[in-house]
Each structure stands twice: as C-alpha cells, then as structure tokens.
Amino acid sequence: DAGVIQSPRHEVTEMGQEVTLRCKPISGHNSLFWYRQTMMRGLELLIYFNNNVPIDDSGMPEDRFSAKMPNASFSTLKIQPSEPRDSAVYFCASSFRSGAAGANVLTFGAGSRLTVL
Amino acid sequence: GNSVTQMEGPVTLSEEAFLTINCTYTATGYPSLFWYVQYPGEGLQLLLKATKADDKGSNKGFEATYRKETTSFHLEKGSVQVSDSAVYFCAGSARQLTFGSGTQLTVLP
C-alpha cells in the first residue's frame, strides 16, 4: 500500500484565495482525520470522519473551513477565503476503527504545507 | 476530559547517551497509549504502543511501560543515535486520540 496520500505537498497562495487540500486514505480504513500543525499550537484535530460521515468537527476553526468525504477513498479540506493565520502544515490520517473500542493506530500522510501571504 | 502532558523540549544529547522523555496522562477509564515520531519534513508515524496496564511497548531500541499507578508512559532508549533526531509525541486514546505537545530531540555526533 502506498500509505496515506496528500496533495499538494506545498501550496503558496495569497490572502483571500480558496485553498483545497486533498487526501486519499489507506484502502480498507474506515476513519479519516484532518490535523493542523503549527509551532504555536502544536497538533490540533480539526475534524474526523467514520465511514465517510463527519463525527466531530468541533476543532474546525471557523466557517471558512470545510471538509468533505464523498467516498471511502477521498477527502478534501477547503479554506475559503484563506488568511495568513491559516499558514500551517495540514495532515491527513486514517485508521481502521472497530466498534466502540476506541481509537486504533493512525497512519499519517506526509502533510500539506500551506503558506498564505 | 482526556489529556496528555509530556516533557517540554528541546532535548539535546550526545550520541550513545540515555534518553528519557516523560509523559503522563489523565483519562476516564484506561486508555491505550502511544508514542509517535515525526522526522523532519514527514508525517507522524507510530513508534510503539501499549494497550493495558503494565504492558511494555518497544521498537527500534525505544521502550515505554504503561504505569497505571503513576498514570505515566515514559519513553526511554539506552543509547541514542544521530538518526533518532526527531520530534516525539505521546498520545492516549479512550475513544479519541489525544496528542501531547511534542518533544524535539537532537542527537549530536
């Protein structure tokens, strides 16, 4: 398996532009997570999906952020409009969660580094 | 709620030195505990895990023991290498995975 695939790896954009980050989870995994990493705040969970359904989006900063998972093999995180404070590395991770037993091991993608000028 | 507290960094060691990175957790119930490692420019990857009290996780010379009485999961390695330079994250999960703030380790030759 190629692991969790994220694109783009790097994105530089101007304030006000729309940004779309993409993620392909590991085949067979049923949970998908979006994290944001910054020096100031560390690793923050933005949203996670289970069986393509958003379960907890309480970490999404504000309405400018949205995430979708139209099928089991693809998810997007969109920022519209982008602002300089959104500059960060955004990670996608996936796992196989069985029942209510709790979180299993996460496999992370390599991340998308976003710079908003 | 659940929380994970790990030793503040950065930590700088000479090659072959002994490493300890402290991690404690608070949780309702008995969470699974993990150490993840992030090498420069990469995503986090699982280093080791323990799913119940007194379990010892180990990988690549690193070890951590799940101590219920002290609610700790300290990471140790007897002899670090330059290639161990990375950021180490402690994490715990009951239903959801909670990460600590990360500890930057630099190993000098």
Query: Pairing mode, if any, of strands A112-116 and A88-95?
Result: antiparallel
Tens digits of residue pLDDT in B54-79: 999 999 999 999 998 888 999 999 99
Provide the 8-state DSSP code for A9: S
Distance of CA B108 to the CA centre of its chain: 20
> B84 phi and psi, to 5 degrees?
-80, -5
| Sequential pLDDT tens for chain A (117 residues) | 679 999 999 999 999 999 999 999 999 999 999 999 998 888 999 999 999 999 989 999 889 999 999 999 999 999 999 999 999 999 999 998 776 555 568 999 999 999 999
- Smallest Cβ–Cβ distance between B95 and the set A45, A102, A107 belongs to A102
Q: Measured between CA atoms, how close is A28 to chain B, in angstroms?
A: 19
- Smallest Cβ–Cβ distance between B32 and the set A4, A91, A102 belongs to A102
CB of B11 within 8 A of CB of B21?
yes
Q: List A112's β-bridge partners, or say none.
A: A90
Side-chain-facing half-sphere of A102: CA atoms under 13 Å = 17
Dig out the tokens for B27 from the structure: 């949780």
Distance CA A34, CA A7 (A): 13
Q: What's the pLDDT score for residue A99?
A: 60
